[in-house]
Amino acid sequence: MSENPEHHYTEGDVAREVSELETKSATAARIFDLRRIIGGLFVVYGVIVTVTGLTDSQAAIDKAQGVNINLWTGIGMLVLGVFFLVWLKLRPTALPQEPEE
């Protein structure tokens, strides 16, 4: 009776595979951190709204009672987006460490 070699894992093979999975999990956690997504979206939309505010006509500004609302909202969105991205840079995602035995 021949044995299937696929079912013979050494302890080193298992440890290496677990290590690879932990690395992939850590990478996925960093990529999908909500601060990155929220910050990126606010920066992109902030740029769009700020450019719109810079190119608004006087009629559009008068419509908002003399306030260039697109410009101020865009700047606010940019500040918030940069805040999230700086926060992410200063405090990266820390994965929980398993207690050592």
Higher confidence at residue 48 or residue 19?
48
**For residues 29-35, average pLDDT:** 74
Phi/psi for 91 (5° steps) reads -130, 75
57-73 b/e with 16+ CB inside 10 Å = b? eeeebeeeeeebbbbeb
Q: What is the mean pLDDT of the chain?
A: 82
**For residues 13-28, average pLDDT:** 70
What predicted TM-score, i.e. pTM, was given to this entire model? Answer: 0.65
pLDDT over 90 percentage in the chain: 50
